Amino acid sequence: MNKKKRVVTAGTFDILHPGHYELLKFCKSLGDELIVIVARDETVKKIKGRTPIIPEEQRRIMVEALKPVDKAILGSLKNKLEPILELKPDIIVLGPDQTTFDEETLKKELEKYNLHPEIVRFNNYVKCPFHSSFDIVKEIIRRFCNKEI
């Protein structure tokens, strides 16, 4: 019996857009099972300096509803590696905007726990008018408040 190849990726997934879908579709193409770690509200606030618009459990539900995703879970509030250590993925995919993660540093950190997943960087940005949650928010403000931010 062949072991399923498990792929894991993580992100905020605040306001879903085509870039999110393309990332998840790519991730799923690399293996049999795709598990997505959705960042906790508190974590997003620390990293991005703002709370997400959509609460964490709603973001998790929406990500899990997407066709490429087999399961979506919330990240850890204690240790960002905790879900990875539990899931033991074969492949970890980093998104193009996850610049706080360096592939080699992550690989060395996981080796301390005897984990040796392949780490892949997805670098394709989707060419569309609203390829980021922030751009969507700016457009909403522009249209409904007639303001620029």
The annotated binding site for ATP is made up of: 12-13, 17-20, 97, 125
Give the C-alpha separation, 113 to 70, whole Å.
25
Tokens of 41: 């509200």
**Residue type for position 6:** R
Residues making up the binding site? 12-13, 17-20, 97, 125
CA distance 93 to 10: 8
Answer whether 68's CB lies under 8 Å from 28's CB: yes
